[in-house]
Structure 1
Amino acid sequence: MIEALFGSGRDLDEYQMAARGVAVFILALALIRISGRRSFGQRSPFDYVVAILLGATLSRVIVGASPAIPTAVASLVIVVMHRMLAWGCVHSRWLEKLVGGVERELYREGRFNERQMAAALVTAADVLESNRRQSGTLDLAGVRYVFLERNGEISIIRDRK
């Protein structure tokens, strides 16, 4: 009965692929719950790895390119590794820096930090664009600091006046 419902191998009809899609959707939800909100809430490069790997791995189950149970187990291992690394990052600043990176100070009190900008592949135009989006102004007057955050966003810190 299970083989009739889900099929086997690559010779699947539309109903079997639909049934696999439903099963993989439920499995993916369970894996995301195991992984925690972090993997889809904060969206750091570390977290994107899990999302991409889960999508790539679980899609193979739907199309019958890989056996379902071993692929589901591989997906669970990916999620558990993510969870363990996240736990390790909470307890080790060194591991957090290694896995998540560090923020970069791009601008301070009227001066761009060219070295940090070059290392992060960020231009002055990128900083000005972020400033326009966040504050609606065309220049950096009143800006004290600009940081490239670990998740890739640019933060603008204005003078308090």
Structure 2
Amino acid sequence: MDALIAVFGSGHDLDSLQMAARAVAVFIGALVCIRISGRRSFGQRSPFDYVVAILLGATLSRAIVGASPPIPTVVASLVIVLLHRVLAWGCLHSPRLERLVGGTERELYRDGRFDEKQMSAALITRTDLFETARQQLGANDLSGIRAATLERNGEISLIRDKDAR
């Protein structure tokens, strides 16, 4: 026990080497948590996934700087990851839970017409749609675009007309 305290320190009074040792241990622990959580939490990047990433970072950082005891901090991080995993599993089996947790896509534009109601609900402007057209297609307008959809991850997808080239 004395050896662990010498390496990792105790409480708030940590030297540089003890904080570095904690950083290595927390890094390995975070990697294990991320592997348990699965690719979803750090690949698709929905708001649901960002919550896990933010909470995990905030919680684990407390163990590195000695603001919280390391074992309870790691346990809390593991609970966050397991909760994420359980909710993701639940979303696979319940469309209602998936809509609640992940949201739904919104069609913002179709066949030359903007859906002002959907745009207002999503806080998306026409300028945002034109910006997406410039970024994705190198176009200054939406001619040749059949539809624009705000996806659950916050990105706007543009679908071209079949006739447009």
Q: TM-score with structure 2 length normalisation?
A: 0.97
Q: How does 1:46-57 map to 2 (within 5 A)?
A: 46-57=48-59
Which whole-Å CA distance do the structure 1 matches of 2:64 and 2:143 have between them? 54
Alignment equivalent of 2:32, drawn from 15, 30, 33: 30
Alignment equivalent of 1:44, drawn from 37, 43, 46: 46
Alignment equivalent of 1:139, drawn from 138, 141, 147: 141
Q: What secondary structure, in the 3-state scheme, does the structure 1 residue paired with 2:147 have?
A: strand
Correspondence for 2:99: 97
Alignment equivalent of 2:74, drawn from 72, 75, 90: 72
For 1:92, the aligned partner's letter is: S
Q: What secondary structure, in the 3-state scheme, does the structure 2 residue paired with 1:69 have?
A: helix
Q: Percent identity?
A: 72
Q: What secondary structure, in the 3-state scheme, does the structure 1 residue paired with 2:143 have?
A: coil
Across the two proteins, how many residue pairs are aligned to each other? 161
Which whole-Å CA distance do the structure 2 matches of 1:103 and 1:154 have between them? 9
For 1:93, the aligned partner's letter is: P
Measured after TM superposition, the shift of residue 65 of structure 1 is: 0.3
Uncovered stretches (5+) of structure 1, i.e. residues with no partner: none
Measured after TM superposition, the shift of residue 82 of structure 1 is: 0.1
Correspondence for 2:13: 11
Q: What secondary structure, in the 3-state scheme, does the structure 1 residue paired with 2:108 have?
A: strand
Runs of 4+ in 1 over 4 A off after TM superposition: none
Which whole-Å CA distance do the structure 1 matches of 2:129 and 2:144 have between them? 14
Which whole-Å CA distance do the structure 2 matches of 1:54 and 1:105 have between them? 33
For 1:79, the aligned partner's letter is: V
Correspondence for 1:112: 114
Across the aligned residues of Structure 1 and Structure 2, the Cα RMSD in angstroms comes to 0.4
